[in-house]
Amino acid sequence: MKTQSKVLVVEDDDDLRRGLMLRLRTYGYDVVAAQDGVAAVSIARQEQPDLVLLDLGLPGGDGFTVLERYANLPALCAIPVVVLTGRDPRTSEPAARKFHVAAFLRKPVDNDVLARTITLALRGETVPAAAVPDDPSAGPFVPDWSAWPPPPLRP
């Protein structure tokens, strides 16, 4: 019987990938990782994660290429994907949403926001597109999660 969800972290920055993996393990998830677009597909096929946390700026096929491959593979098309990127959401979020991603987050992401987003995505919920501030110099957008229940430590 499976007791914890498996998350595939797809991130090419070694420090960020290790940090995300540590955070996710702290939340109680089983974590596997990929460093590029090619590995994101092969590891997902092999490991069958319950959720993918995907960066868009990857070597070996960017995140959009990964999303397209997932969409075209029956074994992967139903896995929820949470995009975590530093790219401008005004252009990259609409493009990612075409692939029915569960959520779109900007780096750096708050621990509570990450935990809640993953919990919702694992429940099959789609976190709605966030309104992007008109002033990009205002810093990274942080969604207002006050309406959402706090996440459990384990999904």
pLDDT of 28 higher than 60: yes
Question: Under a CB-based contact definition with an 8 Å cutoff, are residues 90 and 96 in contact?
Answer: no
Spatial CB neighbours of 36, under 8 Å, sequence gap ≥ 6: 12, 58, 59, 60, 61
Domains of the chain by residue range: 6-129
How far is Cα 152 from Cα 155, in angstroms, rounded to an integer? 6
- Average pLDDT (14-29) is 95
CATH number for the domain formed by residue range(s) 6-129: 3.40.50.2300
What pTM value is reported for the model? 0.81
How remote is the C-alpha of 16 from its chain's centroid?
A: 13
| Per-residue pLDDT at 3 | 54
Encode pLDDT of 90-148 as tens digits: 889 999 989 989 999 999 888 888 999 999 999 998 887 653 334 444 444 455 544 44
pLDDT of 150 higher than 50: no
| Per-residue pLDDT at 136 | 45
| Per-residue pLDDT at 11 | 97
- Average pLDDT (32-46) is 97
